[in-house]
Amino acid sequence: MNNKLLLIIIILIIGLGTFILLTNKNTSTPSSTTPAAMKTNGKVINVTLGDSGFVPKDITIKAGTTVIWKNSSGKIATVNSDDHPTHQLYPFLNLGELASGSSVQVVFNKPGRYTYHDHYNATSTGTVTVE
């Protein structure tokens, strides 16, 4: 009888653990591109990185707006904070490498002027001004 009870307890623990893991996986927020503390107001601005750089190059947005950068350059690119090459002015803008066709996003909640560039082509620059 003790073996059956032990088996039932083990099955229940495994089932509960599986349920918790699946529940947490479905409700977690991605943290690779959007800091967890930031909230959006539902507005989205798209910026494309192509052969001629970021388009639009300079944008002015309201606080709470999401900016999505899409790499359409045909090669690996980055979105990195100024200054080049240290990327230390706005660390949350160091979004890593983007394969062609991929995108990254950031929600801007704090007013200010944020400058960035493509690390692999530092002449490709952009500015986000948040009001």
Q: What is the mean pLDDT of residues 117-122?
A: 93
Confidence at residue 83, expressed as pLDDT on a 0 to 100 scale:
86
Helix (H, G, I), strand (E, B) or coil at 62: coil
Q: Where are the domains of the chain?
A: 1-30, 44-130
pLDDT digits (tens, 9 = 90+) for 66-92: 999 999 999 999 999 998 888 889 999
Average pLDDT, the chain: 82
Q: Which CATH class is domain 44-130?
A: mainly beta
Using CA atoms, how far residue 61 sits from 44, 75, 90, 131, in Å, is 9, 28, 17, 6
User: In this model, does residue 22 exceed pLDDT 80?
Assistant: no
Q: Where are the beta strands (DSSP E) in 23-76?
A: 44-50, 53-55, 58-61, 65-71
Q: How far apart are CA 61 and CA 20, in angstroms?
A: 39
Question: Can you read off the two tokens belonging to residue 58?
Answer: 């300079």
